[in-house]
Structure 1
Amino acid sequence: MADVAAVAGVSHQTVSRVLNGHASVRGETRERVQEAIEQLGYRRNSAARALATSRSATLGVVTTGSALFGPTSTLIAVEEAARDRGYFVSVATLRTYDTSSMHQALEHFMAQGVDGIVVIAPHDDVAAAVESFRAPVPVVVVAALEERPESALAPGSTPSATMSVAVDQRAGARAATEHLLGLGHADVLHVAGPQDWFDARERAAGWREALEARGVVPARPRTCSWSAKDGYQAGRDLAEAVVAGEGPTAVLAGNDQLALGILRALWERGLRVPDDVSVVGFDDVAGAAYFVPPLTTVRQPFATLGAHCVAMVLASLSGETVAVERIEPELVVRSSTGPPRRP
């Protein structure tokens, strides 16, 4: 930095202000410093900066190692948002979700001196393990924690003061169900994801609320994994019911993979979508617009989610009070949904 200051003809403090993005530096001076940085090939010494500021400019991210669209997209979004704010990301992947494994990952981050932690916590076991850890740095959990049942917290543990942020899964499922009811369908089947996942429970709750608001008594959702294979099996049963004149004419799938399996099963049975059955998915995965037919689905704004995670950590580091955040998803209507066929 002293060399940069000498070449640019400014003080060491001015170079520091330019590097830290302070607005109090004149544009001409800033350009001169940037030119000197490029000329000399200067790079910040992160270790030295950490010693000087007591900040590592690093965030720890705990993820489950799942290849599923939601957790993977969230991880990518958090990393991109952190990089945009000048932070590095250190990732710990868990294959098992017990308290010991989670605490080991969190202690690993403490040893690294991270400034904050983001935990991608799609289901109960992950969130419960985080809640029992008393971290000295801000922790943001990507999950609807207020919906977590008390039984999910390990016996004898003390909940920690974590912040949470999540896409409003309930609102997304409610909007999807209302869309189907608005088209004239009398009932909507829900093929749900595993109920130890926050997102699956919230989506089921939104579907139920939309039906009850229309005076429809919801049947029990069909609970599956998140796989297209399970969607296919549910779709085969649905197809037989529809052919017999007993099945609902609309279905909300817990994610787009389940919807893909349902579409295949309906096609095999000779049923047309949306003429015989309307199908809605959830996530808007890459390629959903090219399913046959193109899939109506709920799009999750992962970039916004990642930005909120990082912003909440940094706000907490600045001593600000941070509220729980819920981010609105978007219903994307395509040609897999339409009015029911009239008798």
Structure 2
Amino acid sequence: MSTRKTAKRPSIFEVAKRAGVSHQTVSRVINHSPNVAQATRAKVEQAIDELGYRPSNSARALASRTTRTIGVIAGGQRFYGPVSSLAAIETMAREHGMFVSVAMVHEALCSQEEFDNLCDMFGQQGVDGYIFLTPTDVMLQSACRAKVTQPRVLVTSTHGKMSIQEGMRLLGAEQRRKVSLVGVDQWGGMEGIMRLIDKFGHRNVLLFAGPTQWRDAATRLLAWNKLCTQYGVNSITVQCSVWESGEAYQRMNHILENIGSNGGRLPTCVVCSNDQMAIGVIRALLEHGVHVPQDVSVTGFDDMPGMSNLFPPLTTVRQDFDDLGTMAMRELLYLLGEGDEPGYTMSRHGVGLAPADVIVRQSVREAARR
């Protein structure tokens, strides 16, 4: 009976012999070191192609004491923003020859035990660093309490029930030197909306606020309340428990029915903490014969795909989630000693911020006279 021999995997020493160089030179070529002459690099690459050589990740890890792998724990997997940021993180990691290992968790239900178990799992993989997407207070607290020694980048908002300063106090002095925080300028986004509706003369406004455990929602609400005082706007807050359009639709229906029954006055503008809420609000208004924006203006937040084709096209705040993911990866590369220190045009409370720009469309116009 014949036996089949498994083809032996070529080694780095065979590549070196074929190219007529040392195995250290082959290693430098594989790891993209600039300290190799172009002619030598070409000979090594030709030998690699001829032999079909593929570097061993385990051998690389032993030699360099790195695995070129990062661990990502992310909440908000059902939402457009976190998923977009994750894609950007993975793309940039690949560009730097790194792998991403991802664990998705429920942003409101993730316990400290679950978070720590995931960190232990990543630790067994030998990850070089972590990126934690922490949209809620409970996740930020878990990320700060995590007993990891590798560098970590926290993607979060500047405000919530737990302040950034309180979170940093959960870290030891040595850990704090290996931590960076990035986020989106939620405050600036709300300020842009306020400037716009002030320009159009809106003074009686409804704010549909996002779920309280989300730090983005908390930051937007705090900013809005302070801006209302500054600009002299009368505002009533409608607190929603989820980001979805269904609850906003139901609550707007209830408000309109009460106005119809009690002879109340319509607001001239409804500011929504995300685009999905705005969709629900617009549907309720149109079903009650209230025209947008002729009778009531509406704004959103996020600039999700398709908002320019909504009827009417939605005025909203564009968050660059791709840029946010890239920022997080740049911070981690810097902490790992593989890049320059990132600089930001804006930061608050120790968080480097990506811009949030108002995109003006047809859902806002001058305040209707009542």
TM-score band (shorter)?
Answer: 0.7 to 0.9
2:356 partner amino acid: P
Q: How does 1:46-125 map to 2 (within 5 A)?
A: 46-64=57-75, 66-95=77-106, 96-125=109-138
Q: 1:11 to 1:261 in 2, by over 3 A?
A: same
How far did residue 209 of structure 1 move?
Answer: 3.0
Q: Which residue of the partner structure matches residue 332 of structure 1?
A: 359
1:56 to 1:275, Cα distance in 2 relative to 1, 3 A: same
Give the letter for the 1:329 counterpart.
A
State the Cα distance separating 1:261 from its structure 2 match. 0.7
- Matched-pair identity in %: 36
Distance 2:39 2:254 in 1: 70
Instruction: Compare 252-261 and 315-324 and name the one that shifted more.
Output: 315-324
Q: Is the 8 A contact 2:298 2:315 kept in 1?
A: yes
Shift of 1:152: 12
Deviations 1:62-82 (A, max 9, x none): 123631222222222222222
Q: Call closer, same or farther: CA 1:221–1:35 in 2, change over 3 Å.
A: farther
- 2:333 equivalent to 1:314: yes
Q: Which stretch of structure 1 is more off in the superposition, 137-146 or 36-45?
A: 36-45
Where structure 2 has 5 or more consecutive residues not aligned to the other structure, the ranges are 1-11, 343-349
1:209 corresponding residue in structure 2: 226
- Kept after mapping to 1: 8 A contact 2:70/2:129: yes
Contact 1:128–1:152 (CA<8 Å) still a contact in 2?
no
- The superposition leaves residues 254-296 of structure 1 with CA deviations (integer Å, 9 ceiling, x where unpaired) of 1111111111111111122111111111111122222111111
The answer for the alignment partner of 1:249 in structure 2 is: 268
* Counterpart contact for 1:167–1:327, Cα < 8 Å: yes
**Residue 198 of structure 1: aligned partner:** 215
Q: Does the alignment pair 1:164 with 2:181?
A: yes
Deviation at residue 31 of structure 1 after TM alignment: 5.0
SS of equivalent residue, structure 2 residue 353: strand
Give the partner amino acid of 2:367: P
Distance in 1 between the 2:257 and 2:42 partners? 70
1:300 aligns with 2:313: no
Q: Counterpart of 2:346?
A: none
Whether 2:155 is the aligned partner of 1:136: answer no
RMSD: 2.9
Q: Would you say the 8 A contact 1:187–1:211 is kept in 2?
A: no
Q: Which runs of 5+ in 1 are unaligned?
A: none
Partner of 2:281: 262
CA distance, structure 2, for counterparts of residue 254 and residue 13 of structure 1: 56
Q: Secondary structure at the match of 1:220?
A: strand
Task: Name the counterpart of 2:8.
Answer: none
Partner of residue 162, structure 2: 149
The separation in 1 between residues aligned to 2:82 and 2:102, in whole angstroms, is: 13
Task: Give the Cα separation in 1 of the matches to 2:352 and 2:290.
Answer: 41
- CA shift, 1:221, in A, is 4.3
Structure 1 pair 335–53 and aligned structure 2 pair: CA distance change class (3 A):
same
Is contact 2:300-2:317 (8 Å) kept? yes
Alpha carbons 1:229, 1:261 under 8 Å: kept: yes
Q: Does 1:341 align with 2:368?
A: yes
* 1:214–1:45 distance in 2 versus 1, CA, 3 Å: same
Q: For each residue in 1:160-191, what CA deviation from the matched residue of structure 2 results, as whole angstroms up to 9, or x when unmatched?
A: 53432111112112212221222221233210
Q: Deviations over 1:31-69 (max 9, x none)?
A: 554454444433322111111111011111112363122
Secondary structure at 1:206 match in 2: helix
Distance of 1:147 and 1:16 partners within structure 2: 48
264-273 or 74-83, larger mean C-alpha shift: 74-83
